[in-house]
Amino acid sequence: MEFRKEKDTMGIVEVPAHVYWGAQTQRSIENFKIASDVNKMPRKIIRAFAYLKKSAALTNLDAGVLSKEKCELIAKVCDEILEGKLDDQFPLVVWQTGSGTQSNMNVNEVIAYRAHVLQGGSLMDEKRLFIPMMMLINHNHQTTLFQLQCILLPIKL
């Protein structure tokens, strides 16, 4: 299997080259190796994240704090998630920290990296390998714009 290097605040981690998730999702996979074959995060929760992030993008567009281009990219990827086209990009189990941070970041990373590819980029782009800020949609910024992490999971439930 081919890997790419991703970097976050904890350093560098190897991620399978073909997936849309990044460092934080990969760390969760590595740190929560419990019942990964039977206790995946329910698809309904993943889809709820997509509804929330698409709604937030549309609201932030209306508020003038997110560009139309970024909003459209986020919405397009969220639609792909809602249609089940990216189901294989959500490998995390329900066993994680209490607020669902890892699943939230999994969705953020998939949105950001899929948007990058939709724009003609590659998951192996050098400009993106160590500097996700270079991408038009950043997994820590545009996909979470004005969303409080601590309330996201209860809202979806």
pLDDT tens for 76-131 read 999 999 999 999 999 998 877 666 788 888 999 999 899 989 988 899 886 654 44
Alpha carbon distance 157, 153 (integer Å): 6
Tally of CB atoms within 10 A around 113: 25
pTM of the model: 0.84
- Residue-number span of the structural domain to which 98 is assigned: 3-156
Count structural domains, the chain.
1
- The answer to whether residue 153 scores a pLDDT higher than 70 is no
User: What is the model's pLDDT at position 134?
Assistant: 44
User: What is the model's pLDDT at position 130?
Assistant: 40
**CATH number of the domain within which 139 lies:** 1.10.275.10
